[in-house]
Amino acid sequence: ERFDWITDDPSWEQAYVDRSVRMVKRDRNHPSIIMWSMGNESSFGCNFKSAAKAIKELDSTRLLHYEGDDEAEVTDVYSTMYTRLKRLKEIAESETQSKKPHVMCEYGHAMGNGPGGLKAYQDMYRKYKRLQGGFIWEWYDHGIYTEEGGETYYRYGGNYGDFPTNGNFCIDGLLMPDRTPSPGLLEYKQVIAPIEVTRIEGTEREFQLKNYYDFLTLEQFYMKWAVQAEDKIIQEGCIDHMMAPPHETEKVIVPFIPFQPEVNTDYYLNITVCRKKATNYAEAGHEISKVQFPLSICYNILEERPQGKALNASESEGILTVENDVVTARFHKVFGNLLSVSAEGKEYLSEGPEMTVYRATIDNDMYKKEDWMNKYYIQKSSEQTEYFRYEAAQDKVIVSIGKYFSCYNQSWGFECDFEYTVYSCGQVKVNLHGKAIQNGKLEPAFLPRIGIIMKGNKELQHAVWYGRGPGENYADSKEASIMGVYSSSVDEMGTNYVFPQENGHREEVRWFGIGDGDKTLLCKAEIPLGLNLANYTDDSLENAKHPFQIQRAEDVIIHMDYVQSGLGSNSCGEEQQEEFKVKLQDFTMAFMLQVVPCGEEVKEAKRHYLD
């Protein structure tokens, strides 16, 4: 490979210079242009030196950019693309390399579900003066709208019988093809918010505002605040006398009034910074930043669990049935599974928890997919029953099941101990402890997730949850999502990416429910978990090339994660950071299932019981 083949060949000088000169003459009267770029990904040589000289002779007022000039010999900025964080830090701290300011001409590859890890880049930009930031690749997806066979979708490379092709590598923007903002754009907006709000350590209501604007003072903005009690706002106000000059900080005290907390309720302080006046790009009240801080105010109590009629445990043809007039739980003694949970004769849980480490691969997983699926077979797993026992107590039946989880042909896996407690009041408590096992040496560098998958009755299409939201969020992409109680349809929980892939995840979920308008299957997590709800399986999502090809499942698919790996930007950029990679590890999950009337999910979720 010779990337400088024609770049360093003097016979091409006139073509290089002519191209640059025509660009400057065409666009030099556009005030929006702040730098001239000589090209992209074409190495460096004599012809770029000549082009740079010609540009400067025509326009000496603007900066000159070209990422191929590794030593910034003729350019005014030192530019790189998709530089990893470790290397970026080295550039920032270098004592020997050119002292010219550094710009990333491309980073944060916005392909499919992502990019993740944007905050790490922004933190570095703000820490080091030399790092001037960068440009996300790219603005919008280049899908071509298609109506065919009664379906509408967006085509990409290869959909016209074209070959060779880069496939969906043109679907890599912060906007969908129809200009709908992606979750990635909302995340980016919050990450780069030019007014940063941080709480002063050791306080509840004292905050520091850092003004990152170059020319605006904070007089142009006001700060709304609200005290949130999970699902409702109980106090709110506005502060509009901020003054900090550019690049300075200001201390603000939020004047909320002391209050008596409700039982078993979490409280948060939400702060939103907005523009006072309209501009040519936004209306008055435009939101610059929204952040949330937990409050330490709490009043927690436990209550006695109500008792119902005595439970009956019976066995028939390998099936254990535990039931009374309000609950029926069925277990398979051979396969070691919770088969279903019914209430008053209606089935709500149609398949109980099985462990999984697989997610439908995202574009940013593309370089891991081959190993994950054809070496470690993470999509091909099984659980083997090691023991099954149960015992009846005064108002409950405890079913204990031991399983060994592994993927095909692997030396690593998990010893899983499931404990199900069926209470006479109708609740089913699940405790799962997984112990990581390695009987050899080979294992994935990291896993997509560690969690369980269950199935709910397909009629349960109304979703409600207490966790981060309202939109999808992941471990390395959740700056735009705050804690609260949200509701949605199951279908609306997902994101309809042009190229189907893992989507719709919610982090830090304390409880969730799926209902039919009358009753809700409520799940209360003792340990916060990650949640996906969908009307399709992971396999269907993995196999589809366009959204209309995703086949609807016969059940609501429920993913509950102990932990899920982040998104990263590795379709063309940084991998997930180490802290956002799921390693082979021990884990514990604990949650309670019960059927409650629709509309009473919040009330029931706040009831905590003595064991």
Please tell me the predicted confidence (pLDDT) of residue 2. 85
Same domain, 24 and 83: yes
* pLDDT for 191 beyond 70: yes
Q: Identify which of 369, 366, 363, 450 has the alpha carbon closest to the alpha carbon of residue 184.
A: 363
Q: Which residue has the tokens 């609807």?
A: 552
| Structure confidence at residue 95 as a pLDDT band (50, 70, 90) | confident
Domain boundary at 295, 314, 349, which? Answer: 295
pLDDT digits (tens, 9 = 90+) for 423-444: 999 999 999 999 999 999 899 9
| Boundaries of domain holding 74 | 10-183
* pLDDT for 130 beyond 90: yes
Please tell me the predicted confidence (pLDDT) of residue 611. 81
Please tell me the predicted confidence (pLDDT) of residue 326. 96
Same domain, 170 and 21: yes
Domain boundary at 275, 295, 315, which? Answer: 295
Give the dihedral of Cα atoms 18, 19, 25, 27; nearest 10 deg. 180
Same domain, 171 and 70: yes
Distance of alpha carbon 597 from alpha carbon 582, whole angstroms: 37
Average pLDDT over residues 492-497: 97
Flag whether 112 is in a domain.
yes
Flag whether 82 is in a domain.
yes
Flag whether 114 is in a domain.
yes
Flag whether 561 is in a domain.
no
Q: Identify which of 582, 546, 547, 586 has the alpha carbon closest to the alpha carbon of residue 565.
A: 582
Which CATH number belongs to the domain containing residue 234 in this structure? 2.60.40.10
Same domain, 18 and 148: yes
Same domain, 212 and 163: no
Q: Which residue has the tokens 């042009």?
A: 498
Flag whether 477 is in a domain.
no
Percent helix, strand, coil in the chain (nearest 5)?
15, 40, 45
* pLDDT for 288 beyond 70: yes
pLDDT digits (tens, 9 = 90+) for 259-286: 999 999 999 999 999 999 999 999 999 9
Secondary structure of 235-280 as H, E, C letters: EEEEECCCCCCCCCEEEEECCCCCCCCCCCCCEEEEEEEEECCCCC
* pLDDT for 331 beyond 90: yes
Of 1, 13, 41, 601, which is the active-site residue? 41
Same domain, 146 and 81: yes
| Structure confidence at residue 366 as a pLDDT band (50, 70, 90) | very high
Peptide bond into 181 cis (omega under 30): no
Of 67, 106, 472, 575, which is the active-site residue? 106
Distance of alpha carbon 108 from alpha carbon 88, whole angstroms: 14
Other beta carbons less than 10 A from residue 178's beta carbon: 11
Same domain, 169 and 232: no
pLDDT digits (tens, 9 = 90+) for 448-492: 999 999 999 999 999 999 999 999 999 999 999 999 999 999 999
Amino acid, single-letter form, for residue 275: R
Which CATH number belongs to the domain containing residue 91 in this structure? 3.20.20.80
Same domain, 276 and 157: no
* pLDDT for 530 beyond 90: yes
**Percent of the chain predicted with pLDDT > 70:** 100
Q: Helix 13-27 to helix 46-58 angle, to the nearest 10 degrees?
A: 30
Same domain, 174 and 242: no
- Stated as kind and residue range, the H or E segment containing 186 is helix 183-191
Flag whether 531 is in a domain.
no
pLDDT digits (tens, 9 = 90+) for 379-417: 999 999 999 999 999 899 999 999 999 999 999 999 999
Q: Helix 118-127 to helix 183-191 angle, to the nearest 10 degrees?
A: 20
pLDDT digits (tens, 9 = 90+) for 142-152: 999 999 999 99
Q: Is residue 106 annotated as a catalytic residue, yes or no? A: yes
Q: What are phi and psi of 545, to 5 degrees?
A: -100, -20
Same domain, 178 and 248: no
Give me the number of domains the chain comprises: 2
pTM summary value:
0.95
Domain boundary at 295, 317, 346, which? Answer: 295
Same domain, 177 and 262: no
Same domain, 23 and 164: yes
Three-state DSSP state, 6: coil
Flag whether 80 is in a domain.
yes
* pLDDT for 97 beyond 90: no
Flag whether 422 is in a domain.
no
Distance of alpha carbon 204 from alpha carbon 209, whole angstroms: 15
Structural tokens at position 165: 């092709």
User: Per DSSP, what are the bridge partners of residue 454?
Assistant: 558
Task: Please answer whether residues 426 and 308 qualify as being in contact, where contact means their C-beta atoms are separated by less than 8 angstroms.
Answer: yes
